[in-house]
Chains A and B, each alone.
Chain A
Amino acid sequence: MANFILRKAESKDVSDILRLIKVSKVGDMVQHFVDLLEDGFGDHPFYHCFVAEVPKDQQSSEGYTVVGFAMYYFTYDPWIGKLLYLEDFYVMEEFRGFGIGSQILKVLSETAVKTRCSSMHFIVAENNTQSIDFYKRRGASDLSLEEGWRLFAIQKEELLKITAK
């Protein structure tokens, strides 16, 4: 098996994207179907998406032809300008080892260069050694290790306290 295509996601792909997100996440709190649709295909998209699709005769054991996706958007670094930020990237287990992940990464890089982005950024959990190795093999650097950057988040409850002051 080696036949697959990578294409821009369309609104009809949202249910497949949601399925892949749920499969890839261990935790709960996954976006409701309606939000993904509005947030990606409404007036002001928050994200862009590619999907990997196989022909019908190679569909997954449950009958799916959309077998991988990558979600990204543009962010900004005041030192170097526009960046492409890779938010999510997943290929179904039974379709791994065929180069789908590599191709997705390459298309993302090409998109970054075409859209004048100096760099492609993303975050990975340090215990996800498989992913870290995948990225490092392709030339990624770990800014947390090399420069000491730490990711912080202020959740909604605490945010509301800040706005109240």
Chain B
Amino acid sequence: MNFKIRAAIKDDCKDISRMIMELAVYEKMSDQVKISHKELERDGFSSNPFFQCLVAEVPEENKSKEGHTVVGYALYFYTYSTWKGPSVYMEDLYVMPDFRGQGIGKSLMSQVAQVGKEKQCVRLQLAVLDWNTPSLDFYVSKGAQDLTASEGWHFLRFDGEALDELANEAPKD
């Protein structure tokens, strides 16, 4: 099947938002999705975007059962390590189930890696859920190392009430 990988445009945000929800459902955390295509448009397509996005598109004649031609996406941004400098962080990689097994995921990731290479990034990082064996296998086959296993890294966060409480204690000057 023919497909094309291209940079997302503002108009793609409705499709990207749809697929973000599909990925969240797969990860069993769809109740955690709080933003819509409107926030994606504002945050990804202004003069100071907070993320970059690639989409995979198929021709009209290969569209999905519901009529979609945008069938996959990769959302990424740049991070920084005090040890090594800029890195690419691939936040989301997703291909609709009916379009898997055709190299779309591989191509999306390859494009992200290419962008990273052009920006002199020293590595690509991502997070995977520990039960998500298909994804774990996919990334390990591409040379990814599990730093949680080998170095014990854990993701922590302050959000909601905890963040507000911390902020309210900040010195006012």
Contact = CB atoms under 8 A, between A and B. Distances in A.
Interface of A: 21, 25, 27, 29-31, 35, 39, 46-47, 71, 73-82, 85, 87-88, 103, 105-107, 109-110, 112-113, 118-127, 132, 135, 138-145, 147-163, 165
A106 B172 CA distance: 11
Contacts of A156: 121-123
Given A31-B85, A78-B20, A150-B129, A47 B144 contact: no
Contact of B146 (A46, A145, A152, A159): A152
Given A82-B50, A105-B166, A71 B154 contact: no
Nearest to A44: B78
Q: Chain B's interface: helix, strand, loop or mixed, by majority? A: mixed
Nearest to A113: B167
Given A119-B158, A150-B148, A138 B166 contact: yes
B129 A30 contact: no
Interface residues of B, number: 76
Contacts of A149: 127-130, 148, 155
A107 B171 contact: yes
A139 B161 contact: yes
Interface string B68-112: 000000010111111111100101100000000000001001100
B157 A121 contact: yes
Q: What are the 9 A-B residue pairs with the smallest beta carbon separation, nearest first?
A: A158-B143, A139-B162, A109-B166, A119-B159, A126-B152, A144-B154, A110-B170, A148-B130, A150-B148
A151 B171 contact: no
B64 interface: no
6 contacts: A39-B86, A46-B85, A124-B156, A150-B147, A150-B149, A153-B144
Nearest to B132: A148
A85 B79 contact: yes
A120 B157 contact: yes
Looking at B77, B144, B149, B154, the one whose CB has the most chain A CB atoms below 10 A away is B154
Interface stretch (B2-10, B31-39, B55-63): B31-39
B171 A106 contact: yes
A142 B83 CA distance: 23
Contacts of B114: 163
B127 A35 contact: no
Contact of B113 (A30, A110, A163): A163
